[in-house]
Structure 1
Amino acid sequence: MFRRPIARLASPLLKRGTGTLRNQTNTAYRPKTLPRPFWSSGKVLLFTTLTGITTGTTTYYAGINDETSRFQLPWRKSDRPHYASKVKMETAIGELRFTLGENAISTDDEDLLRHGYSEWSSINIDQLPVAVAYPHSTEEVSHIAKVCHKYKIPMIPFSGGSSLEANFSAPYGGMSIDFSFMDQVVSLHADDMDVVVQPSVPWMSLNEEIKESGLFFPVDPGPSYALNVHQARIGGMVGTSCSGTNAVRYGTMKDWVINLTVVLADGTIIKTRRRPRKSAAGYNLTGLFVGSEGTLGLVTEITLKLAVIPQETSVAVVTFPTIRDAAAAAAKVMRAGIPVAAMEIMDDVQMAVINRAGSTPQKKWKEVPTMFFKFSGTKAGVQENVRLVETLAKQHNSGNFEFAVDAEEQKMLWSARKESLWSMLALREEGHEVWSTDVAVPLSRLPDIIEISKKEMDDLGLFASILGHIGDGNFHESIMYNNKDPKERAAVEKCIKDMVDRALEMEGTCTGEHGIGLGKKDSLLKELGLDTINVMTSIKRALDPNWLMNPGKIMDMPH
């Protein structure tokens, strides 16, 4: 069954060679007393055996998450996946420990829980992985894949753990593959403006490491908290084809990946391209794996394009009387072709959240719809763009622009937008969760969908807000609700579903940057149609005929 997210628990990382767990817990969100998880590793093995999820004979199981999607694909009986029995799973774990080291595989209860539940996810399920693998290299990932392929064990990649659509959940048990120890910047080619990294490199740490080169990686999915415990990592960013605040100027993840090293389901290692930024050599396999959420292969190395750090940056904040005025101003700025670096929106509720949480103690914000602008380029260019945006904003009843006078004030002003999610999480009462999801629509429809969605959220009578990357038609709803109240949860689900359906009616998309995971398979079918989903399924079947790579995500398991 599905359930809402539980409270954040410990996040131990296995320290290889010591036989102990190194606990890197975010104490700010950890309960005072850690509850004993219901799903012990023994119970996971027992549950999967009894339900038929893991079977090496002729039975099959595809029911845990298929209630999220209402379509069935035409599969032959021979196509139906057959997963490892309990005995084979234990054999595989033993084999991997023998070849990679005793501590390369964890079956610790807390570790399994951390790799199966997510506080951020819109949904969670009552199923965990059976084990967690901690590879150190592409070769070790390949070996893990070969063993899992041999015994028919599902493989679920795990990167930063900050995804929102149950992208790394384990609906069919199996092996979670955590890339925590693959966190190196392999090589920086400053003259070529590219960098090669492993999947667990945090994007903020990457920019800190390469800043002396005068270059930076511009895809900005959001800040971390608590000593980078949950900072987005490059591998997960590739998996979901994420974007962020800079997307209006620099584009999304798919625009910045040059090539990938990928381990396929049977352990084969491939490289999708070489290092030139431009190539017409065959199929665009790089683009195929970006956004595939680990359903086609395990990404172990990424070559990224870099951009030159701008000469000048500036941040401005402006208020509007209504959310529609703000959205209309954003559409007008984009239509005018003004090259803003970022353009973000937060409604009155979200601005109140920032004040209540004390995220920017040096400033008290007006609790009205607010837009945040970031400008970058030459000094003259920035000044001209600021002037143009201010003129257009005034045509939509804006208040006065507030400009940052120095780098420190820029950081302070922009931090209100960057800390929005953490601010909302900090205000939760016990038993309450925050459901955050996104859609994107053509720019001309943005004022309409934001105005209607805002009204429907307000009608819930709950703590709910709108925020987002308004410059590219992408916005988010965040709703705080009591997860122990079925009626309240149902009302929130309906509100979210109506927003997604409305976006699709406006020729938009069900997800601008969070991916499909388990949570939006129905919506993906509505958006693309069964024929397109069948093409995706054919690609999946060709690369992963045994349905081992992150099964149940993006599309349903075969029945």
Structure 2
Amino acid sequence: MTQGNGNHNGNGNRNGNGNGGSIITIIYYKNKNLINNGSSYLTSSTTPLDILLSPKYATKEEIDIAIREFIQIVGDDHVSCLEGDLEHHSDSFYNAHKALKTQKPRAIVYPSCTQEVSAVMKICHKYHIPVVAFGGGTSIEGHYVNTRNGISLDLSRMDRILEFNKNDLDVVCDAGVGWQDLNEFLSPHNLMIGVDPGPGAQLGGMTSCNCSGTNAFQFGTMKENVIGLEVVLADGTIITTRQRPRKTSAGYNLTGLFIGSEGTLGIITKVKLKVHVKPENEGIIEIQFESIEDATNSVKNLIQKNIKLNAIELLNNKMMQSLNLSKQLAHIYEEKATLFLKISGASPLITKETIKQIKFVITDNNATYFKVATNDLEKQEIWSARKLALWSAIQYGKSVLGNDAQSISTDVAVPISDLPEIIKLTEHDIEQTDVVGVIVGHVGDGNFHSCLSFNAENEKKAWEIADKCVERAVIQFQGTCSGEHGIGYGKRKYLELELGSQTIDLMRRIKMALDPLRILNPDKILKIDPADIGEH
């Protein structure tokens, strides 16, 4: 990855203090007189990559000066340059797209409030310092890889639940609030939030990646659950995207713009979020099938018959094998394609009727086993199997390939009617190699993961399987390369395959409008530098 040389415009002179918008715009384009479809690049609706100059970022000396200014804002105890902290904010075991040894932040800054975030961003804007926002550190697509050696802005100190509007079923929280902590706060009120991503995730990062989880089939993703946001822009400006009503047609949908933007357009500091009444008379069902086709056809049929379900999770036979080998569960499962379902109803009678409808559908699809959890302990045991899936898949890979095995995970989503075919094809691809692969997914919305473990000998095969899975989803089945993990650094090429270069050019135009210095999470979602040679 090409690094900035410390200059701030094409002539090596700093001219980026935020004043004189036309000058700022011009110096980041190669030639303002170039023509694109008959109009100037500066007045066209899109920004192709090849018209940009490479971004110029702060020198080491300038970052050292800025660090002293950060300390004046947040205090000496809340700025760290310790190697362990830099490592923690560079990469994680779960990241599929590892940071290079040189890709570390120069410092970690821990603000405590929106005003401190704004003050820090004004300094970064002044010196052209790249900023990567950091939440729970649970993302897996290289979202917080520090490609440009700037600072990491850790929002974990911003962990306050600011408003709880029980009568309106919403909360207002700092970006650093963890979703599990929020659910613990809501539980005595018989309430919960709608999304349930990996343990440790925080609201700011969850919003930035538009995460979801097992409950998305019933409650939707963050996009459906976020009411409004407070955001700090690249120059330190603080904005609010929306008030608290459940509906509005007032102006542009800025809330939607920042959801899923992965910290490339602004730093989310507050989240206004819907909360939900916990489902009544909830039941959990385990169903097993002889084949993956029977399981996925059951999913399709259940949805087409409009049977009320809260969650539909699929685990293939290899995933069930990995769970058994993990020895983390109370009993051993048959190693067959398995569905875990959540259902609920206003009364036990309604729940029983739903169970009857489900039995009718699965009988036509050759189900071999059907169990309804009868108590809270059984419910917890069945659902914990799904929650242990990722960890179990990784450990399974290590048990087969050795402790040096690494893992990657696809995240495609396709129309429900195409789910049986794409999962069958993906299983076949895995079976033709010595890559250790399992399939697990939130199949109620057509989203599934191929968790692929590999070593040095078969790494190329693993990436070929992943590429084929994504290309098949996007090209053959009109799906998406990412249902919930986001794009980050690792899936940029897939995004262009999915949407086309002109759509990416429009996204780049939006990026350049909000962040012309390109300091906010550089190199994520799309390329911002014509010298960028692609993922390593």
Q: Which TM-score applies when normalising by structure 2?
A: 0.89
SS at match of 1:411: helix
2:333 maps to which residue? 365
In the TM superposition, 1:141-290 aligns within 5 A as 141-222=117-198, 224=199, 231-290=200-259
Q: 1:107 aligns with which of 81, 98, 107?
A: 81
Supply the distance in 1 between the matched residues of 2:65 and 2:122 (Cα, whole angstroms). Answer: 14
2:463 maps to which residue? 493
2:385 equivalent to 1:439 = no
Query: What is the Cα deviation at residue 256 of structure 1?
Result: 0.3
Deviations along 1:501-540, one digit per CA (max 9) or x if unpaired, are: 0001210000000000011111111111111111111111
Supply the distance in 1 between the matched residues of 2:81 and 2:10 (Cα, whole angstroms). Answer: 27
Q: Which amino acid aligns with 1:372?
A: F
2:519 maps to which residue? 548
Query: What is the Cα deviation at residue 437 of structure 1?
Result: 2.2
Supply the distance in 1 between the matched residues of 2:334 and 2:6 (Cα, whole angstroms). Answer: 55
1:94 maps to which residue? 68
Q: 1:403 aligns with which of 349, 355, 372?
A: 372
Query: What is the Cα deviation at residue 234 of structure 1?
Result: 1.1
Asked whether the equivalents of residues 8 and 55 of structure 2 are also in contact (C-alpha less than 8 Å), the reply is no
Deviations along 1:285-327, one digit per CA (max 9) or x if unpaired, are: 0000000000000000000011111221000101011111111
SS at match of 1:435: strand
Supply the distance in 2 between the matched residues of 1:53 and 1:161 (Cα, whole angstroms). Answer: 28
Supply the distance in 2 between the matched residues of 1:162 and 1:518 (Cα, whole angstroms). Answer: 15
In the TM superposition, 1:278-357 aligns within 5 A as 278-357=247-326
SS at match of 2:95: coil
Supply the distance in 2 between the matched residues of 1:325 and 1:264 (Cα, whole angstroms). Answer: 49
SS at match of 2:183: helix
| Identical-residue share of aligned pairs (%) | 39
Q: Which consecutive residues of structure 2, in runs of 5 or more, have no partner in the other structure?
A: 13-27, 29-46, 531-536
Supply the distance in 2 between the matched residues of 1:390 and 1:156 (Cα, whole angstroms). Answer: 49
Supply the distance in 1 between the matched residues of 2:77 and 2:51 (Cα, whole angstroms). Answer: 39
1:524 maps to which residue? 495
Structure 1 pair 217–551 and aligned structure 2 pair: CA distance change class (3 A): same
Asked whether the equivalents of residues 503 and 509 of structure 1 are also in contact (C-alpha less than 8 Å), the reply is yes
Deviations along 1:175-224, one digit per CA (max 9) or x if unpaired, are: 111111111111110001000111121112211111122221021113x3
SS at match of 1:316: strand
2:367 equivalent to 1:393 = no
Q: Which TM-score applies when normalising by structure 1?
A: 0.85
Q: 2:437 aligns with which of 449, 459, 464?
A: 464
SS at match of 2:49: coil
Alpha carbon RMSD of aligned pairs, Å? 1.7
* Number of corresponding residues: 489
Q: Which amino acid aligns with 1:374?
A: K
Query: What is the Cα deviation at residue 59 of structure 1?
Result: 7.7
Moved more, 206-215 or 376-385: 376-385
Supply the distance in 1 between the matched residues of 2:294 and 2:51 (Cα, whole angstroms). Answer: 50
Asked whether the equivalents of residues 190 and 215 of structure 1 are also in contact (C-alpha less than 8 Å), the reply is no
Structure 1 pair 59–470 and aligned structure 2 pair: CA distance change class (3 A): farther
Q: Which amino acid aligns with 1:211?
A: S
Supply the distance in 1 between the matched residues of 2:172 and 2:345 (Cα, whole angstroms). Answer: 26
Moved more, 210-219 or 83-92: 210-219
Query: What is the Cα deviation at residue 448 of structure 1?
Result: 0.4
Moved more, 147-156 or 203-212: 203-212
Q: Which amino acid aligns with 2:500?
A: G
Q: Which consecutive residues of structure 1, in runs of 5 or more, have no partner in the other structure?
A: 2-47, 63-70, 225-230
1:455 maps to which residue? 428
Asked whether the equivalents of residues 436 and 477 of structure 1 are also in contact (C-alpha less than 8 Å), the reply is yes
Asked whether the equivalents of residues 435 and 461 of structure 2 are also in contact (C-alpha less than 8 Å), the reply is no
SS at match of 1:124: coil
